[in-house]
Amino acid sequence: MARDLSFIGRPHEYEPRRVFSLTGADWQDRVNFDRLRKERLARAKEQMEIHDLGDEGHRKGWCLYKMGCKGPVGTFNCPNARWNDQTSWPVKAGHGCLACASPRFWDTKSPFYERLPSVPGFGVDVTAGEIGLVLTGAVAGATIVHGIASAVRDRRRGSAAPPPETPSSEKTTSGKP
């Protein structure tokens, strides 16, 4: 089944959620998203296995999600703007994000040292684990809530109803005989 690759070469605004560059190209396979996804997922999963504060992963600045980091639902530009004349920010200093610039973070983001308990705005039946899975799959910019929200939504739509391009291809196949 041919992939819809029409986005290649089109302006970025058509698909703001995807990031295209030469890093997605391969001289044999051209763009093999499956391979890229697998490799990155494996790496991200491995990095998320950081098991203790102060271990090697912690020193290398790997993901702190399991330690209770609330970065995936944060709503501030902390990682980009950084603090005190762009010197640092909490995750760079080794501690999970509290999402302390989010509305009512004191009620919605605590306990701070447990994985996201329930995430408002994603619908009641979406668990933090699911968000985490999508997150690692996409290796998305950790603080872009919209990106994660729509990624979760897309995934759920995909399991409940067929994705948009599938019905059209089904129509052509079922229309032929």
- CB of 91 or CB of 131, closer to other proteins: 91
CB of 141 to other proteins, least distance (A): 17
Q: Which of 137, 131, 129 is nearest to 39 (CA)?
A: 137
CA 5 to chain CA mean position, Å: 22
CB of 132 to other proteins, least distance (A): 21
End-to-end CA distance of the chain: 19
- CB of 87 or CB of 173, closer to other proteins: 87
CB of 67 to other proteins, least distance (A): 9
Residue 88 sits at φ, ψ, to 5 deg, of -165, 180
Binding site for other proteins (CB under 8 A): 52-54, 58-61, 82-85, 87-95, 98, 100, 106, 110-113
Beta-carbon contacts of 2 under 8 Å, excluding residues fewer than 6 positions away, are none
Q: 128 and 152 in contact (C-beta within 8 Å)? A: no
- CB of 20 or CB of 76, closer to other proteins: 76
CB of 122 to other proteins, least distance (A): 23
- CB of 45 or CB of 59, closer to other proteins: 59
Beta-carbon contacts of 114 under 8 Å, excluding residues fewer than 6 positions away, are 68
